[in-house]
Amino acid sequence: MSIGATHIDHIVIRSSDSAATAAHFSRLLGAPIRRTMTRPGTGAHLEFMKFGEVILEFAGPPQPSEGEPRAELAGFVLCVRDIHAAVSRLRDRGYPVGDPKPAVQPGALIATVRGGTHGVPFAIMQYGAIPQSPANEEPEA
Amino acid sequence: MKLLKIDHVGIVVRDLQEALATYERNFGLKADPSRGGEIPALGIRNAFVPVGESDLEFIQPITDQGPVAEFARQRGEGQFLLSLAVDDLEAAVQHLRALGCRVSDPNNGIAFVSPRSTFGVNLQLIQRG
């Protein structure tokens, strides 16, 4: 059974201070931070870098912890061609999958697979899944 | 240092064949049979599953020594490392060392950045071809 995954869209690095961690990685890797935002609802501070087709997302609390940041790999997101079909197939297999909901990326829907992924927090995502206005185009990062 | 792409995400699993079967059967993601195998020097058995231009690398410890076995002992299964493809590994290592990072000597086209230099994230640098 295929869920129609096309590529890894993004990999999450969770940190106690996402701004400091992103700045550190930017300096080490010589790559710019492409986008910074606050996640609606949770207030999480997000920063993004991009390498090829894959985005690195640095995610942290609204207020960073004191001291040196602690960071860890915290999951990834696969792009799929049809998120509703993929969710349906996974549920048919018995997977606990959340309902697709709007992602922070304009026009995209995302659904979390809540288990059965061998310890890797995992979500699927489809760009262009929400009817577009001219402003709702896929971001560069 | 020129980063080309995210080469792969390393995922530690308890049973490699079981993990590969799960990802193929339930997600349609199949291992590349031309890559992977046992690497006694690292104490691991691995396989690569292509997804777009990057791979998922599934890694099973086959000894109780080394960082993969240590990760499995402490955390069980999970995301272990992020591998970055570079165009010139020697230059990348020198660049990171000049910035104060602890980086292993390149070996077989691979070098590891100490997590002490990355706030805890295991980074691997790899030069393909």
Which residues in chain B touch residue A31, judged by CB atoms under 8 angstroms apart?
A: 3
Q: Which two tokens stand for residue B14?
A: 């308890």
Contact A8 B122 (CB under 8 A): no
Which residues in chain A touch residue B118, judged by CB atoms under 8 angstroms apart?
A: 24-25, 28, 71
State the fold for domain A5-126. 2,3-Dihydroxybiphenyl 1,2-Dioxygenase; domain 1 (3.10.180)
pLDDT band at A17 (very low <50, low <70, confident <90, very high): very high
**Whether residue A134 has pLDDT greater than 60:** no
**Res A105: pLDDT:** 84
**Res B8: pLDDT:** 98
**Res A132: pLDDT:** 65
Distance from CA of A133 to the nearest CA of B (A): 28
Edge to edge, the sheet with strand B123-126 lists B37-39, B44-51, B54-61, B3-12, B78-86, B123-126, B110-113
**Res A140: pLDDT:** 47
**Whether residue A27 has pLDDT greater than 80:** yes
Domain B3-126, classified CATH 3.40.630.40, yes or no:
no
**Whether residue A138 has pLDDT greater than 80:** no
Q: What is the mean predicted confidence (pLDDT) over A104-121?
A: 92
Q: How many CB pairs under 8 A join A and B?
A: 120
**Whether residue A133 has pLDDT greater than 80:** no
Contact B11 A118 (CB under 8 A): yes
What proportion of chain A, given as a percentage, has pLDDT over 90? 82
**Whether residue A80 has pLDDT greater than 90:** yes
**Res B84: pLDDT:** 97
Contact A28 B99 (CB under 8 A): yes
**Res B90: pLDDT:** 97
* Mean pLDDT taken over chain A: 92
Hey, is the C-beta of A52 within 8 angstroms of any chain B C-beta?
A: yes
Nearest to A5 among B3, B51, B84 (CB): B51
Note down pLDDT in tens along chain B; length 129 residues.
889 999 999 999 999 999 999 999 999 999 999 999 999 988 999 999 999 999 999 999 999 999 999 999 999 999 999 999 999 999 999 999 999 999 999 999 999 999 999 999 999 999 997
Distance from CA of A40 to the nearest CA of B (A): 26
